[in-house]
């Protein structure tokens, strides 16, 4: 199943709070993944039961990020429109930020509905 980036957080605790809020809103804990860079984040268990995925840096070419991107969806092709957004998240994780991913079937069908 494909995932989307719910948000990024500066601390593991902030990510845990967001995960707990997602669960309270009806998202199943098994449909949530916390992505960490284990060079910065040492937590390896989520109190909420969400899965933790370590995005370790494998080499200078950022092949770890390729592994994270393929984690969203094995067939994922990042188009030019979203390429910059993925690069921004990549930089955040490189600096130690934590990403919270959620299965894409929780995405609203029409993002404009959220604005109204």
Tens digits of pLDDT across the chain (116 residues): 678 889 999 999 999 999 999 999 999 999 999 988 888 888 878 898 898 888 765 455 555 556 565 555 544 455 566 667 777 887 888 888 999 989 888 877 644 344 44
Classify 62 in phi/psi space as left (phi over 0), alpha (psi -120 to 50) or beta: left
Candidates 49, 36, 29; CA nearest to 10 is 36
pLDDT for 94: 81
Contacts 24+ apart (CB under 8 A), 49-53: 50/19, 50/100, 53/101
Structure tokens given for 68? 């994270």
Domain assignments of the chain as residue spans, ordered by start: 3-106
pLDDT for 17: 97
pLDDT for 25: 94
pLDDT for 88: 82
């Amino acid at each position: 199943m494909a995932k989307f980036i719910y948000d990024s957080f500066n601390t593991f605790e902030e990510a845990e709070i967001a995960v707990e809020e997602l669960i309270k809103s009806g998202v199943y804990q098994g449909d949530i993944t916390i992505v960490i860079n284990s060079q910065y984040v040492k937590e390896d268990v989520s109190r909420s039961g969400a899965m933790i995925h370590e995005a370790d840096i494998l080499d200078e070419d950022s092949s770890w990020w390729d592994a994270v991107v393929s984690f969203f969806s094995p067939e994922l092709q990042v188009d030019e429109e979203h390429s910059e957004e993925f690069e921004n998240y990549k930089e955040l994780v490189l600096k130690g930020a934590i990403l919270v991913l959620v299965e894409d079937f929780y995405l609203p069908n029409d993002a404009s509905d959220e604005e109204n």
